[in-house]
Amino acid sequence: GALRCAASCDLTTTTLSTSTGEGQGQLTKYAADLHQLAMQHRRYIQTLEDRFMKLLSPGQNGGSTSASGRAPASMQITALPACETARRLLAVEYARLHWRLKTVTRADSAEGWWQVQ
């Protein structure tokens, strides 16, 4: 199935379509590349969506999203399973672009793997 999308995606699309010059082409290509990567890792995207939905659900980790659609400042940190570099990029950018979440990454003890919070 197709990746689910929320109203926040419309904001990103509108921003891309109103940009001018070379930057618009770069942003559009980056979004297309990220989407292609997501399509290669569909089950991982489903895992991320489940985690992010639980994180932002009312009564979970401090509450729901604010009126601006962002996570509340009191949100607790949630660790994702360790992942390799491509999935790290996917998790960080998907959280940032689609869910408007901030992430922190650090190298895992296993070479080539990352911890994402």
pTM of the predicted model as reported, rounded to 2 decimal places: 0.67
**What are 84's strand-pairing partners?**
113
Q: Among 29, 31, 44, 33, which Cα is nearest to 87's? A: 44
Q: Residue 114 in 3-state DSSP?
A: strand
Structure tokens at 99: 């869910």
For the segment 73-108, what is each residue's pLDDT rounded down to a tens digit?
456 788 999 999 999 999 999 999 989 999 999 999
**What are 107's strand-pairing partners?**
114
C-alpha to C-alpha distance for 82 and 110, rounded to whole angstroms: 9
**What are 116's strand-pairing partners?**
105
Quickly state the pLDDT bin for 51 (edges 50, 70, 90): very high
